[in-house]
Amino acid sequence: MNRGLRWVGYGVALAGVVFAVVLASRFGVDPGLVDSPLLGKPAPEFTLAPLEGGDTVSLSDLQGEIVVVNFFASWCLQCRNEHQAITSTADAFADQGVTFVQISYQESPPVSLEYLKGAGRSDAALYLADPGSRTAIAYGVFGIPETFFVDEEGTVVGKIIGESDAMTLGATIDAIKRGETPGQSVTGDTQQRPDA
Amino acid sequence: MSDRLRTTLSIGLLVVMAAAMLTLILTNPSDPDRVQAIGERIKCPVCQGESIANSPSAMAQDMMALVAERVDQGVSDDEIVAELLASYSGAVLLDPPVGGATLALWLVPVVAVILGVAVIWWWRRHPSPEPASEDGDAATSGGRLAPLLILGATLAVAVVVAGFFIQEREGPNEGVANLGAQDLDDVSNETMEAVIAANADNPQVDGMRLALAERYYEEGDFRSAFPHYLEVAGSENATDTQVATSLIRLGWMAWEGNAEAETATGLFDQALEIDPGSDTARYLKAQVLWCGSDAPEQAASLLEEVLADPDLSADSRTQVESDLAAIESGETCT
């Protein structure tokens, strides 16, 4: 092979390597792991009915409290794993100005209710239906579980992607009480609906 | 039909067709078309590289329903896309935005085209030499081309680096710290108490309970530490080390807090049954025997056992040797 062609080969190979590095390092990242654009912004308002039906609940009704918004479903294994931690933390912080709101994601209310019957629920938490996934879309949910933390001013200050545990939830709430912005944390995988 | 008429008809037909096309272009597309067009710009967040318009997933259909509702409400295309961007960021766009790290995606093809044109131009001005002179001129031509190719590759690298740099500077959540891994140091005593109380039946709570008890102990708050050590000491789920540590602490608090020498030595003995190699249990028991039970010989014997441990740290060894010398010289405990 003559030297000219060899140099052309080197150039093409180098350009290919550069492009491959870009693709591998940047564009291979799970898009669900990007920082939520909601962080530092007012939390999207929602008005949702409880899973059992009845009077609706709005986020604005809870202004002045720290609100933990968790998206869950019975088909989500990670949600099942974290459920006890969420329930117990909701109980533990019930009298400290913290309200847990669990929103059923891509699941009919009767199915979610049946699941909660077995998994247990906190008297202090709210369990809401999200018809048409409007609230999930407003919160930019990619997969579940995803948990958002809204401070007393109504600003999204934290997000946990993946399964939570009691310590992580407690520490995040503590940080918010101290006026900090915990930001986003990835604790594990999320799940899509099996037929998605 | 005359040629003139045929030409006139052809021109007329062309004008009509052009007018019809212009009308189609200038007229606003119908609502279903708008919904479809917007949907094709938005990536389905639960799929692999599919638009919400083409994905059969329930989430994509819900998003399409939202888009259709917004179109019905008279919201503009850009406003609808902006609403979804506000929730999902640019990650939801099928066409990456021009800027940041994705700048490379847009510029690399442009750079490639420029390079290609440059190469063709170069070769046209420097045609391939005759086979007879291949080794000479071709090598020279290739050698001249090399800097151009290296320049192009360098430019591509610069674009990529610049893209990353811009992305870093334009970070969407500037000023918002990452939560990161949780450390118990970040958690208040009150929160730990609340979490422990709420997880009292959780077999994994012993570690957290011991950590909180240790925190109280270090603060000298024996009253708060006591019930947690007691729980861990009696827990069936706690490890031997956790139980032994709790017994040792309970023993020392019994001595320090209430001067209960017998209770303290009993607890140290229990700890030594579980962890026979515990120098801490031996040393503290020696302290109680010397200071509270008037049994310096037993205390000295225990201290000698401690000194026999080759892994004893230098500081601890110095302290134990000092105490042993004091006992052997008949000094009373102070």
pLDDT in tens, chain B (334 residues): 566 766 676 677 666 666 655 555 554 555 778 999 999 999 998 887 889 999 888 899 999 999 999 999 999 998 999 999 999 988 788 876 665 556 666 677 777 778 778 777 777 777 665 554 455 555 555 556 666 666 666 666 666 665 555 544 444 333 333 443 345 666 778 777 877 776 676 666 788 888 889 888 888 888 889 989 998 998 888 888 899 999 999 999 998 888 888 899 999 999 999 999 999 999 999 999 998 888 889 999 999 999 999 988 898 899 999 999 999 998 887 6
Chain A, chain B: beta-carbon pairs less than 8 Å apart: 194
Identify the burial level of B326 via C-beta atoms within 10 angstroms of its C-beta, where 0-12 means exposed, 13-18 middle and 19 or more buried.
middle
- CA B149, chain centre distance (Å): 39
- 3-state SS assignment for residue B44: coil
Q: What is the DSSP letter of A105?
A: -
Q: How far apart are CA B52 and CA A32, in angstroms?
A: 16
Chain B partners within 8 Å of A22 (Cβ): 104-105, 160
Instruction: For residue A49, report the phi and psi dihedrals to the nearest 5 degrees.
Output: -90, 150
For testing the chain A interface, which of B126, B173, B208 should be mutated: the one with the most A CBs within 10 Å? B173
ipTM given for this complex:
0.83
Q: Do B194 and A5 touch (CB under 8 A)?
A: no
Single-letter amino acid code for the residue at A62: L
SS3 A159: strand
- Answer for the pair A72, A105: CB distance below 8 angstroms, yes or no: yes
Name the minimum distance, in Å, from the CA of B277 to any CA of chain A. 33
Place of tokens 């037909």: B13
Q: What are the tokens at A185?
A: 């944390």
Beta carbons of B146 and A11 less than 8 Å apart: yes
CA dihedral B219, B220, B222, B224 (to 10 degrees): -30
Residue of A nearest to B96 (CA): A27
Per-residue CA distances from A132 to A42, A108, B292 (Å):
22, 10, 73
Report pLDDT digits (tens) over A146-172.
999 999 999 999 999 999 999 899 999
DSSP string, B81-115: HHHHHHHHGGGGBSSPPSSGGGHHHHHHHHHHHHH
Nearest to B100 by CA among A33, A15, A39, A27: A27
CB contact under 8 A, A142 and B46: yes
Q: Do A140 and B87 touch (CB under 8 A)?
A: yes
Residues 6 or more apart whose Cβ sits within 8 Å of residue B246: B210, B213, B229, B230, B232, B233, B238
Nearest C-alpha of chain A: how many angstroms from B87?
4
Cβ neighbours of A11 in B, within 8 Å: 146, 149-150, 152-153
Q: Residue B296, preceding bond cis, omega within 30 degrees?
A: no
Exposure string over B60-75, b if 16+ CB within 10 A, otherwise e: bebbbbbbbebbeeee
Q: Is B43 helix (H, G, I), strand (E, B) or coil?
A: strand
Distance, CA of B154 to CA of A11 (rounded, Å)? 10
8 Å CB contact between A107 and A75: yes
What are A88-98's pLDDT values in tens digits?
A: 999 999 999 99
